[in-house]
Amino acid sequence: MSLTRRNLLASALPQLMLAKKTSVEKPHILFIAADDLNNNLGCFGHPIVKSPNIDRIASMGTRFENAYCQFPLCGPSRTSLLSGLRPDSTRILANEIAIRDKRPDAITLPQLFRQNGYKSYRYGKMYHMNVPAGVGSNAFDDAESWDVAISPPGLEQKTPGTRYPINTNRGPGWVSIAFPNDKHEQADDRAADLAIEAFEKSPDKPIFVGLGLVRPHVPNVAPARFYDLYPIETIKAVVNPPGDRDDIPKASEIAVNTRANDMGMDENGRREAIRSYYASISYMDWQVGRVLGALDRLKILDKTAIVFWGDHGYHLGEHHRWHKRSLFEESARAPLIVSAPGYKGRGKPCRSLVEFVDIYPTVAGVAGLKPPSMIEGQSLQPLLDNPARRFKSAAFTQMFVPEQKIEGRAIRTDRYRYIRWTGPYPDEELYDRKTDPKEYTNLAKKPGYEAELKQMREILDRGWQAARAKV
């Protein structure tokens, strides 16, 4: 039979249809990062904070209630997450270091998508960015990760509005400002606009969009209507038991530095600080809702995998701290929600221990991509189908204070948190989270816990490889 034009088209049609079907089945990726966000969200059970749009993502996917960052500081945490490598492997243990400075061979998560036919977009903060001074800068970004990368500027602490005094000892970023309008030249406004535009231009061809929101990082800046959600009389300051800090090691106190001892705030100041943090969360959540609304309008929400994460936790007065950079639960644990088409765990919580290095292989997996062999996390896809199954036996978080050469390493098991400090002030901490969920009593300094200490030391010494899930 001669190969006519009609026969050629007929023979190619099945392949063309398959290619079209495959490209449609690959999901869009909406990869949302929030800065300095702890688990104070409605979907994580917070009684006051209003986060309806993030809650909506949780209703469509899996909410990971015990997700732990690898390093409770912006730069190291984000680099670890985006590379799938632990801080010991990235060798980035401080801010203001770009990933290629230490690991030029890394294949980052968005870079993997670029290598597999996706266009990759970044709007806002995804790698490290100093806030507020560096907002609008690409200083520590990674060009190989993105086809398009934009860091919108914002007024930040210069925003005109009502200023709420919290503490005169705070630096210029430590202000609370309620401004009258929804739109007022904030970086997050423009980042959300750009994310919406990217999806509008490519509704049918899957893209990877990294949306990096800088709130609720200080300065706490938000429209007044979000402050109005939290009348000051409804805000309760954290009450720590007397002598709480007596059994906390010196190394731990040095790590948190000037953000300890309630930063000199009285009770009213602490309540105002919490209120402004909550208002910033709700403002950030509103930006998330704007993008979800666009996906609805474009009829691609059910074709989009959405990952929402905070880069680490944040203290709001627990142990008298107002910062990250600690190995307590409030700093090491952070929100993680994954919603992807076709999985059975829709709307269910997962209480298994997971780590932020697991995000890379998970996102790659839901798009049908194979991650590079060097990465050190495990895909959470089995938990997206069955959130009730067990996963890792321990989660690992580490800290480093370069000025004093202080190193801290923590593990979280189902019951215990164990912390080991090395350097000039070696020490240990052990907390029984079943009987002491706020981690007020350091059992490492009490008799009768030798067996538990021995077991936790061994888990830490064996390392993360031994704690991997059996899948």
Instruction: Give helix 267-297 / helix 52-60 axis angle, nearest 10°.
Output: 50
- Of the candidates 52, 12, 67, the one whose C-alpha atom is nearest the C-alpha of residue 309 is 67
Cα–Cα distances (Å) from 424 to 71, 72, 246, 251, 444, in that order, read 20, 21, 19, 8, 19
Lookup result for tokens 């007929």: 10
Residue 293 contacts by C-beta under 8 Å, 6 or more apart in sequence?
Answer: none
With contact defined as beta carbons under 8 Å apart, do 220 and 277 qualify? yes
Q: Helices (H), strands (E): how many in the chain? A: 14, 17
Residue 373 contacts by C-beta under 8 Å, 6 or more apart in sequence?
Answer: none
CA distance 396 to 327: 10
| Secondary structure in 3-state letters for 162-178 | EEECCCCCCCCCCCEEE
With contact defined as beta carbons under 8 Å apart, do 463 and 440 qualify? no
With contact defined as beta carbons under 8 Å apart, do 28 and 304 qualify? yes
With contact defined as beta carbons under 8 Å apart, do 196 and 289 qualify? no
With contact defined as beta carbons under 8 Å apart, do 196 and 295 qualify? no
Which residues have a catalytic role annotated? 74, 128
With contact defined as beta carbons under 8 Å apart, do 396 and 357 qualify? no
